Structure 1
Amino acid sequence: MRRTGLIVAMVFFMGGTGASITLAQDAMPVVKSGSTVEFDIPPQSLGTALNAFAERTGWQISVPTDKTAGIDSPGVTGPHTPESALGALLAGSGLVYVLTDASSITVMPGAAPLAAPAVVGPGSAVPADPADGGLSANGKTKPVKVPEILVKDVKHRDDDTKSYVAEEASTAMRTDTPIRDTPQSIQVITRKVIEEQRAIRLDTALQNVSGIFTGVSNSADVNDAWFIRGFPANNNNIVRNGLFDPNSAQTASDPYNIQRLEVLKGPSSVMYGLGDPGGIINIVTRKPLPDAAYSANVTLGNFNLYRSELDATGPLNVDKTLLYRLTVVGQKADSFIDYANRDVVGITPVVTWLMGSRTTLTVEGEYFRRWTQRITGLPAQGTVLPNINGPLPRSLFTGMGDFGRNDRTVYRIGYDLSHQFNNNWSIRNTYRYSIQEIDQINGGPLGLLPDQRTITRFWAGSDTGLSRSHYHDMITNLIGHFRLLEMDHTLLTGFELREQRFNPLQNTQRRGPSLDLDLFAPNYSINPYSAPFFSSNRFDQAQKVAAAYIQDQVALLPNLKFVGAIRFDYVHQWGRNGPYASNPPEQNSDDTGISPRLGLVYQPIEPVSLYTSWMRGFLPNDPGAFNPGGALFEPQRSTQYEVGIKTFFLQNRLSASLAWYHLTRENLLTPDPDPSLAAQNFQVQTGEQRSQGIEFDVTASLAAGWNVIASYSYTDAEVTKDNDLALVNKRLGMIPYNKATLWSTYHFQEGPLAGFGLGGGVIGYGKMNAAIFGANQVEVPGYVIANAALYYNHDMQAGNWLGAKQVNVAVNLHNLLDQRYVAQAFNTTTGFFFGDPRTVLATVGLRF
């Protein structure tokens, strides 16, 4: 057997000669083609990585050393066939390989790396030419050349399951742009973070990002909501695979089919149109892989939680031109709040068709349903203020008991079609149609009586049928790379069409008084809807959007990059209200918005990027807003200035970013200064709010088995203009000055503890205003939550009775010290919500 040191020395010695060197392990047992073995090859130089591959497999590799010199390999870990492992080692190198016999390989330059290398058969001499039907001169099957767009997607998916660190994100630019070249703050939560924290709600994973503050009261909430940089982020701020998706927030997405979360901070109208200015959360779902893989896990937890997940992916044909993925989740659970169940079922089938060497079509569907109760608030007295009767229990429910319901179902179907004209130009067309159904009857508190134990209540809901919304979104992007005036350009042009219609014509929305509730001796046995309703309303709403945008990323110098982009939006809104509405029965509005962005990135040294940017955003006001002059209100506008620094060190295993921003939101609606008009719901457009602050984020894979994610944010968000002068300079509700998070895991790699791991961290919030409105300001105390985890991962012996490759066991503990804290408040009287108490999740999983 050749010695490793000698081989490595020969590779580097011959690196500049253009010669080839053969790596071989003659005394090593040869791993058969297609067999699955464990690899643990860390990121390193490509020559050294190929040598490690040869040592592990016993395969002979003929390497053109002049082509590998100076090239790094991303490495490969975990169970792989030799072919898929070699494809991972060569990813991004511009090299391809050819099998000359069952265990001999020649590495050579190629048009694109292979995403599905296992289709390469013995006897193939060169990469397949798509023009000859994929057959060699001797009639044997040639390698399938996979479109470069899919190659990059597959590489990202593989990286997301192994590391906390992400190097690229498409959300900001709608192109595959390195994060270091993006002049805007963007953070990525990879699949590995989601799995190690055992996040069964998006909120758990997004807490790791600076500048994001929870708007979710607890894990039983039916909605997703956050504040980003001080401003709301919900229906207008969530996209799925780059397409606008308001249903995500209204049904509380489940991470079972999520590959990564990309958080783009600041107004994002230049790429995504109308939206609140805090930022965009892009949910990137899991897609098919070319190699077969299967996993299943079961999670048990306190509050009677039972949850199971299944994931299967692989090829559907021998040539691996048709790939699939199927993910399934089922959950049955109570919660720490009485009557608030957390039942979930979801299924997501995905199929990818490699239609040719340059064309890929992916079709994805989803059925997702959540059964729960609407969690209603508790009074300030007994939560954050003293109550003469004592503190309120965290389990107290102020809703309708067994008479209430809040069931939500989402159906999604869409496609993603991409085509590469050549190595420089490509086009991508994506579309999704979704339906959301809501079936709810619920209620909550109106006020607390002087005895501080009795609340008055209301009820509301759709007692005659489902409310249903339909949503269409289609985007077409043309991307080109070219050189002009001695500068490299990446040009993006695109257009987008959207339509949303909320159409509960069969539905009567009703609202009425309900029975009072004794907070310290609640009685849920009497029908709370026995009182007559006092209002009824039928309504229909629609929104249509047409937009076009253009963006140019220019390399002015090798270390100086400029981004300029602009988008034009046309938005038509229409609403029809029923006979009991106070506003006119029908409202229309037509708005236009121009959203620009300018950015500059300077890299004094390769691992460091200094950036600055300016951008504008817009959000049309509801056409039903009541203007005393009769004219429609102008859209809300937002402006952000940002400067920052991004760094990637330790061969891109450590990423850190520091940003300062100044963000203003204008044209907000405020009550009319005339009290008589304000009493009739008239408004004027004079409001302004401002948020500014500093954000720091770190993700790192510092050593084998050691991962860290941490963040800190200082946020100064306040009212700067309002008709009510008492509100000016008040801090926005539920936005602390300070928030910090830390999470770290370590998995032992060798010794008697090999396979075991542990993790832990903290989440800390400073004190907050409950809300800016109300006669008396109420302060919500800050809090610190400790979390912990234990892991055990064990590789199974071949031929075991389960047929599994690996068993994974994890125990996650949230709020380890059982802190009692208020996580959210909607007003200063009866809108306070406790956060989750100590929660234990025990998971057993198998990988096949």
Structure 2
Amino acid sequence: MQLSIAGSRCKTSRDGRETVFTLNIRACTMLVLGLWIMIGQALPAFSETGAASSTSAGSKINYDIAGQPLNTALRDFALASGLQVSFHDDLANGLTSPGVRGSYTAEEALTQLLAGTGLGFRFTSADTVTLERSNGSSLAPVPLVGAAAGGAAGAGISEANSGSTAQKPVKVPEILVKDVNQRDDDTKSYVAEDASTAMRTDTPIRDTPQSIQVITRKVIEEQRAIRLDTALQNISGIFSSALSNDVNDDWFIRGFNANNNNIVRNGLFDPFSATNASDPYNVQRLEVLKGPSSVLYGLGDPGGIINIVTRKPLSEAAYSANVILGNYNLYRSELDATGPLNASKTLLYRMTVVGQKANSFMDFADRNVVGITPSVTWLMSHRTTLTVDGEYLKRWTQRVTGVPAEGSVLPNINGPLPRNLFTGMGGFGRNDRTVYRIGYDLTHQFNNDWSIRNMYRYAIEDINQVNGGPLAIDPDQRTIQRFWFGAETSLARSHYHSMITNVIGHFKLLDMDHTLLTGVELRQQRSNPSQQILRLGSSLSFDLYAPDYSINPYTAPIVSNSKFDQGLSLVGVYFQDQIALLRNLKLVGGVRFDYVYQWGKNGPYLENPPKQNSDDTGVSPRLGLVYQPIEPVSLYTSWMRGFLPNSPGAFNPTGALFKPERSTQYEVGIKTFFLQNRLSATLAWYHLTRENLTTQDPFIPGFSVQTGEQRSQGIEFDVTASLITGWNVIASYTYTDAEVTKDNDPELVHKRLGSVPYNKATLWSTYHFQEGLLRGFGLGGGVIGYTSRNASIFGPGEVNIPGYVIANAAMYYNHDLQTGNWLGAKQINVSVNLQNLLDQRYVTNGFNTTTGFFFGDPRTVLATVGLRF
């Protein structure tokens, strides 16, 4: 194994196979450290053959290293310079460095760093420095190189054996190195090279035989996304049905709905991320895995998985604050603080806070949010890392319930409906939702090839809601009949436990490299008994053109008064092997076995309803192949199956339980990384079917039968690029053909699925001027376009939602502040984001063909002032 660092290029060579990556110095040195861990406990010293120094001894770079213990100061120096620094622990123990700040050569900086310590140094090669006492004596050295020094990646130096003269490498948990690398890159570029969602291992996107797209932190910040929907719109195959002024997140992926069953948080399934919409204030990146993902994630709708990756503690202190002001009385503050809690940087923290008070373009539908996320990472040893985090997130508003087709997507004899129209219960309604989360992530590296990771999360969701909305519109096309639904006094509380344990091993068999993943997942969900009351009556009628919100919904007669009590338990076991058949040919095979137990007690509130339960099992396989004719190009194909049990509350006239829904996907595509990995593109074709859907029994009203099938197929194209310094682009195109292929109702067969257009295209680009009078300024802009789509496959007639194109724009100013300014800040950032720049009137989605249509946001302005410390 030979390894060398030269400038910003990192080259590795093993068994005659050579791979070249273009990275910045920090990412390169992290990659070096990851390779150390994979290859062996002990490595030979760097080979100097063909190696060039990452930092020439005569070139000057900027250093900002504070006075601190010498051990950690040397780690910071290695990180900044890219040099390899070798010394023994005992040589630096108990010593303090005065630090160094300013522009210096490596030799000048190291001289200042060692001032007063009684230590000196000598260059043993162009990029290797060995420390020694001033009298020339030294102990057996321990090498310290670049980011692998543990400062950035959170590593400690291996302890030297007593009396041993053997040289030992720096060790860092492999997963932590990858996480830190991604945290650093996600704030600087639109392009992501790695994603863990598809394989649950650190696998480059180019080696993944499935379409996966990543939205980095830089995209979130430059688009000023205060809802996940804004960021996810950039990805092909995702069709938004979420509303900016509602409490839920809701999307369609590849033609099928994706909500509670399709969102994970840091790799752990999290049903509350959809029912109480996540806020991007603590999101580091969004990873979207297309297609059925049951092989690793168990039960789920077949469109895909959205993995919300949150921000984690860093070893270098950093603080930021944003104040955002917008129209519709939006006031929002965001705070972020991270850094070490001790001098040795083995205990790290992060705290993010958000507070938002806002109205919206719609009456009564506010957008109020408060959230806080504390996180602590303990680097227990050079092999073991523990992160503990929590979250409190609350939204309080009213549920947006839609408007009739007449006046929104169809003509109305009384004229168009106003966009600010609210059809709920006015001041009598409420929809308050709170989520509490606490969990941990524990990783341990047994040796260079085997590691284990255990993650657990406990979450609670409280829902306090009273909602109302339209049922039907009268012939006068201005009066609607409404319903009232909710819990008058009780609070609905749900509990959720989730745990996974993964063991990852790297080994060689039959001269082929294997990465083996074995895992176990446990889930348990329980909803406390809650009361739900439905009221109907003529007293709830409502004039669309003369709204009267003084109507008391509590005076309407009660139609039903029900109690809900339900739960779920799941055990899943999965196996996966990634095999390098040849240097440029990789095979992925995996299978998962699930057992799901569900139960529910739903019935009249004053009675004790019978308990209904079901036991389901599922086997979910996946096969994939990746061929790379040249290094920047990957051709891939895959086949996979999905699994989703039906609720035991579904009524079957035979009394038998319904079989689980099954889905099957075939996918082929091409992935490319060009321009030194500054341009990434994916082109995919897929064919996805969903089977065993329950449909209305044509002979017995109120019952269902299981004969339905739906199919989605299409083409998706995604591009992310950081073409030159300061210029970033993200774009996508989607063609989706989604329809009903089997149903008891022949009129539904070949009908287009609701809310899914044939075509969708997005483009967003920003440019920040790097020099001249405009240095620090930047511009951004883009478009989002949908063609027309069917509102729903159910309901009278077929109503199309018209297509639309909306334009967005942004302006930026970023300015570095002089050291010692009265604010104590390093940088000020100012931006103005304009969404729906031309103020297009459009309907964003509908959930039926009569009264469930929703207007999209009018022109929205967000002005941000941020400080970085």
TM-score range, shorter chain: 0.7 to 0.9
* Alignment match of 1:116 (pick from 127, 135, 151): 151
Structure 1 residue 404, shift from structure 2 partner: 0.4
Unmatched 5+ stretches in structure 1: 1-5, 37-44, 48-52, 64-80, 83-94, 121-126
Cα distance in 1 for partners of 2:208, 2:197 equals: 10
Residues 1:708 and 2:732 aligned together: no
C-alpha separation between the residues in 2 aligned to 1:789 and 1:266?
33
Which residue number corresponds to residue 517 of structure 2? 492
The residue aligned with 1:23 is: 56
Letter of the 2:729 counterpart: V
Q: In structure 2, what residue type is equivalent to 1:847?
A: R
1:320 to 1:108, Cα distance in 2 relative to 1, 3 A:
closer
Match of 2:382 in 1: 357
Q: Which amino acid aligns with 2:821?
A: N
Determine which of 558, 576, 581 is the counterpart of 1:556.
Answer: 581
Matched, 1:750 2:771: yes
How far apart are 1:467 and its partner, in Å?
0.1
Give 2:671's match in structure 1, choosing from 607, 632, 646.
646
Distance, in Å, in 1 between the alignment partners of 2:535 and 2:519 is: 44
Please give the secondary structure, in 1, of the residue aligned with 2:188: coil
TM score, norm. by length of structure 1: 0.87
Equivalent residue in structure 2 for 1:170, among 174, 196, 214: 196
> Tell me, what secondary structure is at the counterpart of 1:159?
helix
> Residue 336 of structure 1 corresponds to which residue in structure 2?
361
Distance 1:297 1:344 in 2: 15
Q: In 1, Cα distance between the equivalents of 2:261 and 2:581? A: 35
Amino acid at match of 2:157: A
Equivalents in 2 of 1:98, 1:418: separation in Å? 32
Provide the rounded CA distance (Å) in 2 between the counterparts of 1:19 and 1:196.
37
Matched with 1:573 is 598
1:806 maps onto 2:827 in alignment: yes
Asked if 1:779 is matched to 2:800, the reply is yes
Pairing of 1:674-823 with structure 2 (within 5 A) = 674=699, 677-678=700-701, 681-823=702-844
Distance change in 2, residues 1:711/1:269 (3 Å): same
Pick one of 663, 686, 693 that aligns with 2:688. Answer: 663
CA distance in 1, matches of 2:152, 2:182: 17
In 2, Cα distance between equivalents of 1:227 and 1:172: 19
8 A contact 2:143–2:170 mirrored in 1: no
- Give distance in 1, aligned partners of 2:54 and 2:438: 51
Q: Assess if the C-alpha contact under 8 Å between 2:154 and 2:315 holds in 1.
A: no
Aligned length: 776
Counterparts in 2 of 1:117 and 1:443: CA distance versus 1, 3 Å:
closer
The answer (yes or no) to whether the contact 2:398–2:429 under 8 Å persists in 1 is yes
> What is the correspondence of 1:143-222 to structure 2 with a 5 Å cutoff?
145-216=171-242, 218-222=243-247
Q: TM-score, normalised by structure 2?
A: 0.85
What is the Cα deviation at residue 582 of structure 1? 12
Looking at structure 2, the residues matched to 501 and 568 of structure 1 have their Cα atoms a distance apart, in angstroms, of 22
Tell whether the 8 Å contact from 1:734 to 1:825 is kept in structure 2 after alignment. Answer: yes
Change (3 A) 1:119 1:403: closer
Q: What does residue 85 of structure 1 align with?
A: none
- The 3 A distance-change label for structure 1 pair 109 and 605 is farther
Q: Secondary structure at the match of 1:113?
A: helix
CA 1:313/1:261 → structure 2, altered by over 3 Å: closer, same or farther?
Answer: same
Letter in 1 for 2:366: N
2:593–2:617 Cα contact (<8 Å) kept: yes
Give the counterpart of 1:33 among 33, 48, 65. 65
Residue pair 1:583, 1:626 contacting (<8 A) in 2 also: no
Letter in 1 for 2:778: G
Instruction: Assess, with a 3 A threshold, how the Cα gap between structure 1 residues 581 and 786 changes in structure 2: closer, same or farther.
Output: farther
Task: Work out which of the residue numbers 560, 565, 582 in structure 2 matches 1:535.
Answer: 560
Shift of 1:568: 0.2
The answer (yes or no) to whether the contact 1:464–1:508 under 8 Å persists in 2 is no
Aligned alpha-carbon RMSD (Å)? 3.0
Give the alignment partner of residue 512 of structure 1, picking from 524, 536, 542: 536
- Cα distance in 2 for partners of 1:707, 1:21 equals 27
Displacement after TM superposition at 1:222 (Å): 1.0
User: Which consecutive unaligned segments of at least 5 residues does structure 2 have?
Assistant: 1-5, 12-46, 69-80, 84-99, 115-126, 135-140
In 2, the alpha carbon distance for the partners of 1:235 and 1:128 equals 43
Residue type of the alignment partner of 2:600: G
Within the alignment, does 1:60 sit opposite 2:60 as a pair? Answer: no
Residue by residue, what CA displacement relative to the aligned partner does 1:289-325 show, whole Å, maximum 9, x if unpaired? Answer: 0000000010000000000000000000000000000
Give the equivalent residue in structure 2 for 1:70: none
CA deviation digits over 1:206-252, x for unaligned, max 9?
00000000011x31011000000000000000000000000000001
CA deviation after TM superposition for structure 1 residue 776, in Å = 1.0
- Partner SS state of residue 261, structure 2: coil
Separation in structure 1 between the aligned mates of residue 686 and residue 560 of structure 2, nearest angstrom: 45
The residue identity in structure 1 corresponding to 2:541 is: D
Structure 2 matches for 1:280-679, cutoff 5 A?
280-505=305-530, 507-513=531-537, 515-579=540-604, 585-674=610-699, 677-678=700-701
In structure 2, the CA distance between the partners of 1:828 and 1:516, relative to structure 1 (3 Å rule), is same
Moved more, 521-530 or 665-674: 521-530
**Cα contact 1:25–1:55 (8 A) shared by 2:** no
1:720 partner amino acid: T
In the TM superposition, residue 512 of structure 1 has moved relative to its aligned partner by: 3.5
CA contact under 8 A between 1:23 and 1:54: conserved in structure 2?
A: no
Tell me the amino acid that sits aligned with residue 114 of structure 1: A
Decide whether aligned partners of structure 1 residues 471 and 62 sit closer, same or farther in structure 2, where only a CA change above 3 A counts: same
CA contact (8 A) 1:24 1:61 kept: no
**Amino acid in structure 2 at the alignment position of 1:518:** D
Deviation at 1:25, TM superposition (A): 3.5
Q: For 1:98-117, what aligned pairs fall within 5 Å after superposition?
A: 113-116=148-151
Sequence identity of aligned pairs in percent?
Answer: 74
Residues 301 and 839 of structure 1 are in contact (CA less than 8 Å); yes or no, is this contact kept in structure 2? Answer: yes
Instruction: Give the direction of change, closer, same or farther, for the CA distance of 1:242–1:22 in structure 2 (3 Å limit).
Output: closer
Q: Distance in 2 between matches of 1:256 and 1:22?
A: 37
| Cα distance in structure 2, aligned partners of 1:661 and 1:333 | 41
* Residue identity matched to 2:65: S
Q: Is the 8 A contact 1:54 1:61 kept in 2?
A: no
Distance 1:719 1:159, change over 3 A: same
Quick check: 1:688–1:719 contact (8 Å CA) kept in 2? yes
Q: Using the TM superposition, give the Cα deviation of residue 504 of structure 1 relative to its aligned residue in structure 2, in angstroms.
A: 2.7
**Corresponding residue of 2:250:** 225
- Secondary structure at the aligned position of 1:60 is classed as helix
Judge conservation of contact 1:583–1:624 (CA < 8 Å) in 2: no
The one-letter code of the counterpart of 1:711 is S
Residues of 1 paired with 2:633 and 2:715: CA distance? Answer: 18
Contact 2:153 2:172 in 1 (8 A): no
CA contact (8 A) 2:483 2:534 kept: no
Which deviates more, 528-537 or 822-831? Answer: 528-537
> Letter of the aligned partner of 1:804 in structure 2?
A
Deviation track 1:19-54 (CA, whole Å, cap 9, x = no partner) reads 98983338x698463389xxxxxxxx989xxxxx99
Q: CA deviation at 1:527?
A: 1.3
